[in-house]
């Protein structure tokens, strides 16, 4: 190939090196130091001495360019650099104004050395010779790539790195990226895709899940299926109720029409879900505690024909039936069957326009993932699950439906029990729970209030819904010392388990725990913005390909639904940014859009922003995740007639579910705009970072948002006002009210903690908020003087002039900083 392109193997290796460097850093150009011979005269060629000179070679890599496209430009760049050997290193440093330091080279920190001039000899003086590689004791630069020849005529790449720059594992990933970039010129796939196992025949659907539950009733009719404060429902009783609800649904509507279930953590949720499926109707899960206008929008979007629930409800325009009391209908003996690709259930997400966007899942979406998941964790009829996940979110299908298909027991929390961490722990301990499904935030809250308590019966903890960090896994391991810990990945559109990674204390320390390598029925791919497979370690969009993915959305025409590949396969770009290591494990690093996960709920920031913009008095606004507290939202508002924090929060609570509420409101005279005329959120976040630790987050000269402004003379009053803004509408909270009695839940207290620390600078721990359950008790613990934590204000980054010396220096530093992040991600 090199002969055909009329380049050397060294040019190919340097092109691959430059491509890997730009892929890892996101820069479009890099400076690489390349040593060249400085021998110019015949005398110098005959002399013994060191005449080597290292010249900086600039390689520009256009977006989406492959390695083959770089061969010509790289060869030209090397020749151009060779033409300027007469210019000394010191002259270059002086000309570009580079800062000299004993810690680093002023021009470049990446080095490439071509040692291919001759292959190692196989014999010396008639004696066989074997090439030996002495151990590397130090590195001249952050990175050094050495190309040499082997005695057999082949070539060898060796990467040398500074020990304080990267660890061996990160360096191994980068060397693999170089190898992939090099081999790509031969047409080899840069990241070979895993193959999928054949689909099981016949294709199973949610009808088979109902049959599995009914079969458990035949095998063990007296076994407890659902256990709660209201009593126990045996498998026989569950089967009877499912058949009766199926008959009711069949009377009130026809197969194929959507049946909505107002979801609460009760036995009626299982009865309604299975009963609707028994009648051949897809199920729409709706949070029963969400605001009535939002629920109305959801029902309209899904064109629900019937609503099932477990309490007195008023659902205008749609027939409503309760399933938590005896039904007069006779059990229906005939079960309606689903086609695999027919709609099976719908999960509600927030659309970018602010309207709910139900995701449609096929009837074949659940059986294969749930069966694989149960086998991976070794789940069975002796396990005990606790229904503490949100009742209208897709994890409920793992915590409620899956155990019932296995003949296991599901414990139901009492009202508010899952939201109160102490009671949550008591529920898990008293039930003898063996399997936990938690978001990392929930796990952190439980660990914070455990106070030495452990859960000895738990043998598996599955994290979901948010990125997992190794420190959180370690905390949870201490809470459940006998448990295996798993990090699960699966979006609403790629339901249940699309990947699973088991974390152990022996894992390499890293900031974010991997999500795994995919499953037999789902393949994970990392794709760059140009559409090509990402190199090892390169950040790109995570794409899931496999069976039983969502075909699309209702009421959200602008949302992408993936590509139908035929034979039951779909390809879905998730919007998650990720990277893959050389072993194939995928780690999430962020989002490509403004979609976030809050407490396991998926939220569109544009939807929240739209709702805030419609509040009275708001003329301009912006919404973002708090970078210091990823479980909380920030809202910036500007307007001449704004109400206080309580008024804004209360008005928003009438239209949006609780999990979409900002924890922190910041009022400004005006919002800065970017070049597109939109609110400049990065600028707002930089300003906030600089102001944190001050007595108020209101901008200088702007009116205060409530009693937190000015001097904080009354700490109890401050905490009361902060907490009051997080209470549901209509609930009262005084300095002596227990937070939970005012309708707050554990996620609300997590938001309160973030707000008191970030906005108000109070020195407290997450456990303090739970240990001292009223504003006055927390104030007494903290003391009347509000000790503040003042972080250093970071100077804004200098904007460099293009092609200036400062620009080149900043570019070098940006590359070095970006490469270092690869190491920091593993801490």
Superfamily of domain 595-782: ANL, C-terminal domain (3.30.300.30)
Per-residue confidence (pLDDT) for residue 707, from 0 to 100 = 35
Per-residue confidence (pLDDT) for residue 827, from 0 to 100 = 52
Pairing status of strand 460-463 against strand 409-411: unpaired
Per-residue confidence (pLDDT) for residue 822, from 0 to 100 = 56
pLDDT grade for 704, boundaries at 50, 70 and 90: very low
Average pLDDT over residues 506-523: 87
Per-residue confidence (pLDDT) for residue 739, from 0 to 100 = 87
Average pLDDT over residues 709-735: 75
Predicted confidence (pLDDT) per residue in 244-293, tens digit:
999 999 999 988 999 999 999 999 999 999 999 999 999 999 999 888 88
Per-residue confidence (pLDDT) for residue 231, from 0 to 100 = 93
Output 106 or 699, whichever has higher pLDDT: 106
pLDDT grade for 25, boundaries at 50, 70 and 90: confident
Q: How far out from the chain centre does Cα 429 lie?
A: 29
pLDDT grade for 819, boundaries at 50, 70 and 90: low
Per-residue confidence (pLDDT) for residue 344, from 0 to 100 = 96
Per-residue confidence (pLDDT) for residue 788, from 0 to 100 = 33
Per-residue confidence (pLDDT) for residue 708, from 0 to 100 = 37
Predicted confidence (pLDDT) per residue in 388-445, tens digit:
998 998 899 999 999 999 999 999 999 889 888 889 999 999 999 999 999 888 898 8
Average pLDDT over residues 127-143: 79
Q: Are 77 and 58 in contact (CB under 8 A)?
A: yes
Output 72 or 596, whichever has higher pLDDT: 72
Task: Please check the confidence at residue 535 and state whether its pLDDT lies above 80.
Answer: yes
Per-residue confidence (pLDDT) for residue 210, from 0 to 100 = 97
Per-residue confidence (pLDDT) for residue 695, from 0 to 100 = 38
Predicted confidence (pLDDT) per residue in 449-472, tens digit:
888 899 999 999 999 988 888 888
Residue 116 phi/psi, 5-degree rounding, is: -95, 10
Task: Please check the confidence at residue 720 and state whether its pLDDT lies above 60.
Answer: yes
**How far, in Å, CA of 508 to CA of 587, rounded?**
13
Output 198 or 574, whichever has higher pLDDT: 574
Average pLDDT over residues 179-184: 91
Per-residue confidence (pLDDT) for residue 814, from 0 to 100 = 56
**How far, in Å, CA of 335 to CA of 661, rounded?**
42
Output 11 or 659, whichever has higher pLDDT: 11
The fraction of the chain above a pLDDT of 70, given in percent, is 88
Mean pLDDT score of the chain, rounded to an integer?
83
Per-residue confidence (pLDDT) for residue 325, from 0 to 100 = 84
Q: Which of 18-22, 596-600, 635-639 has the lowest mean pLDDT?
A: 596-600
Output 57 or 768, whichever has higher pLDDT: 57
**How far, in Å, CA of 53 to CA of 88, rounded?**
8
Find all residues with CB under 8 Å of 280, minimum gap 6, and list them: 207, 255, 256, 335, 336, 337, 338
Predicted confidence (pLDDT) per residue in 373-385, tens digit:
999 999 999 999 9
Q: Which of 18-27, 415-424, 588-597 has the lowest mean pLDDT?
A: 588-597
**How far, in Å, CA of 169 to CA of 309, rounded?**
53
Q: Where in the chain is the domain with CATH 3.40.50.12780?
A: 206-580
Task: Please check the confidence at residue 824 and state whether its pLDDT lies above 80.
Answer: no
Per-residue confidence (pLDDT) for residue 91, from 0 to 100 = 83
Per-residue confidence (pLDDT) for residue 802, from 0 to 100 = 37
Average pLDDT over residues 326-337: 85
Q: Where in the chain is the domain with CATH 3.30.559.30?
A: 2-186
Q: Where in the chain is the domain with CATH 3.30.300.30?
A: 595-782
**How far, in Å, CA of 817 to CA of 811, rounded?**
10
Task: Please check the confidence at residue 73 and state whether its pLDDT lies above 50.
Answer: yes
Q: Are 159 and 171 in contact (CB under 8 A)?
A: yes
Q: 569, exposed or middle or buried, with CB in 10 Å at 0-12, 13-18, 19+?
A: middle
Find all residues with CB under 8 Å of 454, minimum gap 6, and list them: 478, 479, 480, 481
Task: Please check the confidence at residue 170 and state whether its pLDDT lies above 80.
Answer: yes
Per-residue confidence (pLDDT) for residue 597, from 0 to 100 = 72
Per-residue confidence (pLDDT) for residue 626, from 0 to 100 = 83
Task: Please check the confidence at residue 798 and state whether its pLDDT lies above 50.
Answer: no
Start-to-end CA span in the chain (Å): 41
Predicted confidence (pLDDT) per residue in 205-234, tens digit:
999 999 999 999 999 999 999 999 889 999
**How far, in Å, CA of 500 to CA of 562, rounded?**
22
Per-residue confidence (pLDDT) for residue 638, from 0 to 100 = 87
Assign domain 2-186 to a CATH class: alpha beta
**How far, in Å, CA of 480 to CA of 503, rounded?**
14
Task: Please check the confidence at residue 710 and state whether its pLDDT lies above 50.
Answer: no
Output 776 or 100, whichever has higher pLDDT: 776
Q: Which of 206-220, 239-253, 309-323, 668-682 has the lowest mean pLDDT?
A: 668-682
The fraction of the chain above a pLDDT of 90, given in percent, is 37
Per-residue confidence (pLDDT) for residue 43, from 0 to 100 = 81
Predicted confidence (pLDDT) per residue in 680-700, tens digit:
888 888 888 777 644 344 433
Average pLDDT over residues 62-91: 86
Task: Please check the confidence at residue 19 and state whether its pLDDT lies above 90.
Answer: yes
Per-residue confidence (pLDDT) for residue 558, from 0 to 100 = 58
CB contact burial 718-752 (16+ within 10 A = b; e otherwise): bbbbbbbbbbbeeeebebebebbebbbbbbbbbbb
Assign domain 206-580 to a CATH class: alpha beta
**How far, in Å, CA of 587 to CA of 497, rounded?**
15
Structure letter (DSSP) for residue 464: -
Per-residue confidence (pLDDT) for residue 713, from 0 to 100 = 42
Residue 478 phi/psi, 5-degree rounding, is: -75, -30
Q: Which of 154-163, 498-507, 517-526, 559-568 has the lowest mean pLDDT?
A: 559-568
């Amino acid at each position: 190939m090199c002969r055909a392109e009329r380049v050397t193997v060294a040019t190919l290796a340097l092109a691959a090196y430059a491509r890997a460097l730009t892929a890892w850093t996101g820069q479009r150009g890099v400076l690489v130091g390349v040593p060249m011979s400085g021998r110019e005269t015949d005398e110098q060629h005959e002399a013994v001495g060191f005449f080597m000179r290292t010249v900086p070679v600039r390689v520009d890599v256009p977006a989406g360019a492959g390695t083959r496209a770089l061969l010509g430009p790289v060869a030209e760049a090397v020749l151009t650099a060779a033409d300027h050997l007469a210019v000394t290193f010191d002259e270059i440093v002086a000309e570009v104004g580079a800062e000299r330091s004993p810690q680093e080279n002023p021009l470049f920190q990446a080095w490439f050395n071509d040692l291919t001039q001759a292959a190692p000899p196989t014999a010396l003086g008639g004696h066989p010779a074997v090439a030996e590689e002495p151990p590397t004791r130090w590195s001249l630069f952050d990175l050094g790539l050495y190309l040499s020849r082997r005695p057999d005529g082949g070539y060898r790449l060796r990467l040398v790195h500074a020990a304080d720059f990267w660890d061996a594992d990160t360096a191994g990933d980068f060397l693999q990226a170089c190898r992939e970039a090099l081999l790509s010129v031969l047409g080899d796939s840069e990241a070979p895709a895993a193959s999928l196992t054949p689909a099981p025949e016949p294709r199973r659907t949610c009808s088979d899940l109902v049959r599995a539950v009914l079969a458990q009733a035949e095998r063990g009719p007296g076994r407890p299926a659902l256990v709660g404060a209201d009593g126990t429902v045996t498998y026989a009783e569950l089967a009877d109720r499912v058949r009766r609800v199926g008959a009711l649904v069949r009377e009130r509507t026809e197969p194929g029409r959507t049946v909505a279930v107002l979801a609460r953590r009760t036995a009626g949720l299982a009865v309604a879900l299975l009963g609707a499926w028994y009648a051949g109707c897809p199920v729409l899960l709706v949070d029963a505690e969400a605001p009535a206008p939002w629920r109305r929008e959801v029902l309209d979007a899904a064109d629900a024909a019937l609503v099932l629930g477990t309490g007195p409800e008023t659902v205008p325009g749609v027939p409503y039936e309760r399933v938590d009391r005896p039904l007069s209908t006779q059990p229906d003996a005939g079960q309606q069957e689903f086609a695999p690709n027919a709609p099976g259930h719908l999960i509600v997400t927030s659309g970018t326009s602010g309207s709910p966007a139900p995701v449609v899942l096929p009837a074949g979406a659940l059986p294969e993932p749930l069966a694989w998941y149960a086998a991976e964790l070794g789940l069975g009829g002796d396990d005990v699950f606790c229904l503490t996940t949100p009742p209208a979110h897709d994890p409920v299908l793992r915590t409620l439906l899956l155990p019932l298909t296995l003949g296991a027991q599901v414990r139901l929390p009492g009202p508010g029990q899952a939201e109160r961490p102490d009671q949550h722990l008591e529920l898990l301990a008293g039930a003898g729970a063996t399997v936990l499904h938690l978001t990392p935030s929930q796990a952190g809250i439980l660990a914070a209030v455990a106070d030495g308590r452990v859960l000895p019966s738990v043998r598996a903890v599955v994290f979901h819904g948010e990125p997992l960090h190794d420190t959180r896994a370690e905390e949870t391991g201490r809470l459940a010392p006998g448990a295996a810990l798993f990090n699960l990945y699966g979006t609403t559109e790629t339901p249940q388990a699309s990947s699973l990674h088991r974390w152990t204390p022996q894992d390499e320390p890293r900031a974010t725990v991997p999500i795994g390598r995919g499953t037999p029925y789902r393949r994970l791919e990392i794709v760059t913005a140009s559409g090509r497979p990402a190199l090892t370690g390169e950040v790109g969009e995570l794409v899931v390909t496999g069976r039983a993915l969502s075909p699309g959305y209702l009421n959200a025409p602008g949302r992408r639904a993936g590509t139908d590949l035929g034979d039951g396969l779909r390809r879905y770009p998730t919007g998650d940014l990720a990277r893959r290591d050389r072993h194939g494990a995928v780690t999430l690093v962020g989002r490509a859009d403004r979609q976030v996960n809050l407490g396991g709920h998926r939220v569109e920031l544009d939807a929240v922003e739209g709702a805030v913009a419609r509040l009275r008095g708001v003329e301009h606004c912006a919404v973002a995740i708090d970078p210091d507290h990823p479980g909380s939202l920030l809202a910036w508002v500007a307007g001449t007639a704004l109400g206080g924090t309580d008024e804004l929060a209360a008005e928003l609570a009438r239209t949006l579910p609780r999990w979409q509420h900002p924890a922190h409101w910041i009022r400004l005279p005006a919002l800065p705009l970017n070049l597109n005329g939109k609110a400049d959120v990065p600028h707002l976040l930089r300003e906030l970072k600089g102001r944190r630790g001050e007595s108020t987050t209101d901008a200088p000269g702007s009116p205060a948002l409530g009693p937190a402004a000015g001097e904080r003379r009354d700490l109890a009053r401050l905490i009361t006002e902060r907490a009051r803004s997080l209470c549901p509408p209509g609930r009262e909270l005084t300095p002596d009210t227990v937070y939970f009695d005012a309708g707050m839940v554990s996620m609300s207290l997590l938001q309160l903690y973030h707000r008191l620390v970030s906005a108000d600078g109070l020195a407290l721990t997450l456990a303090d908020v739970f240990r001292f359950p009223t504003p006055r008790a927390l104030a007494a613990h903290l003391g009347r003087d509000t000790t503040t934590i003042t972080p250093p204000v970071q100077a804004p980054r200098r904007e460099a002039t293009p092609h200036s010396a400062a620009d080149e220096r900043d570019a070098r530093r940006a590359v070095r900083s970006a490469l270092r992040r690869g190491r920091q991600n593993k801490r």
